[in-house]
Structure 1
Amino acid sequence: GFNYKWNMGWMNDMLHYVSLDPFFRKDNHNDITFSLTYAFSENYILPLSHDEVVHGKKSLIDKQPGSYEEKFAGLRAFYGYMMGHPGKKLLFMGGEFGQFIEWDYHKQLDWFLLGYNMHQKLQNYVIDLNHFYLKHKAMYEQDDSWDGFKWICYDDNLQNIVSFRRIDRQGDEIVEVVNFAPVVRHDYRMGVAQDAYYVEALNSDDEKYGGSGVRNEGWISAEEIPMHGYDYSISITIPPMAAVFFTLRKKRKSTKKLTVKKNKNENGEGEEQKSSGAKE
């Protein structure tokens, strides 16, 4: 039978949080973390349903504070966090391209909005986000236990940031960090579990999605600097009002090659000398 349950607590907490001016979000950080205290007690669906975009509640994008561009950025970050949070996803029609008016069952959706640049780019982001989710088992394979979700940092309320790991049954993982403030965070050090290279795989602030284009280029090497309860950490740039996903590339372990060479001693006799050279 049908054994999924709508996570109304997550929905109410998150819609309250994203409706706040970012300045006040630091005092409401519990809205985005409390749901993990009960996330595995049921088989949950994270619902952004028709009930939340009617009767004067505003559409999802109109709930976001700030300028026109900031509304889109906030919604992209929200969708990114939703996709990384344990639980199956439900996004009501119109939310994928940012319909501004509330849903009206008498009318069709405002499809003409796709003729406007920002709405088209939001739809492209949701498409890519869905494909990313399906491509990486870590995003969904262990939705029902702590085995598939580990916090990295849940208490950085002063900067409106959360970070966590999603893990599949083989131990492969995705690292996600979400910034709910319209401020770039440079040289942000974040704990990681593995001594590996971390590669930015999806960034909601990418220009192709309507963002400002703040990116992490290349492979970021983990350093043996403990942080957030982990033995290693990385230093990254976190875009403003954005969700960023990182994939891992394993570091190649070094091997040692033993070499033997003979040196003559003072009597002119051969003497062995051993040395090792590390090879990558």
Structure 2
Amino acid sequence: MTIPAFGLGTFRLKDDVVIASVKTALELGYRAVDTAQIYGNEGAVGQAIEESGVPRKELFITTKIWTENLSKDKLLLSLKESLEKLRTDYVDLTLIHWPSPGDAVSVEEFMQALLEAKEQGLTREIGISNFTIPLMEKAISTVGAENIATNQIELSPYLQNRKVVDWAKDHGIHITSYMTLAYGKALQDEVIAGIADKHNATAAQVILAWAMGEGYAVIPSSTKRENLASNLLARDLQLDDEDKKAIAALNCNDRLVSPEGLAPDWD
């Protein structure tokens, strides 16, 4: 199963706000939706999907296991609870949201439990998020690269994460980019603005097209219909080599997501 290149993120969206965002996105043609246990919105996302009328088989739903649920006795139970909230018998992709802080639960334990979830049919694919190279090595040695559908990592023009990306690519692991617009900071960038003017596009379209052109999946979020519709057009934007070189030069290792007590030792 191929991870959709373009999906809808729901981080920090709750209740009626996330319901409206998901419904509007599905109406516009989005078919992939990304959520997580810690977002506290799986129930609202499930309601929006059900009320949208879009057949389940057309959708690609991703959720993520929170750190408190990583042990083998909790992971499957927590995923079953997520399925109930999402009003579905299975999700298409389940990720380990963050590695266990302080290695309290070993990579081997939670990856084996996640593989069990796949074998039970609770999830079609499994993967990881916020994993460094050493953590990816452990995950691969436990379940094999063929069982790791993606590593979802922070990735933007300002944090291009080449070391992790190149290693993952060499070992057959796909990359999903989150925070691709750098919390909106990259939308103000003069270089991006120049490329956008050249292509008669928006800054967001340029950044999303760049990420997809690099082979990454993207999951931007928005609460505004016009932005949801506009972002979708990034799939049709082709950047040239000059554009790509200009964006490559913006890399400055500017990481925005590194929660204390949760983040691993970044590569």
Larger-Rg structure: 1
Tell me which protein shows more helix as a share of its residues: 2
TM-score relative to the length of structure 1? 0.27
Using structure 2 for the length normalisation, give the TM-score: 0.28
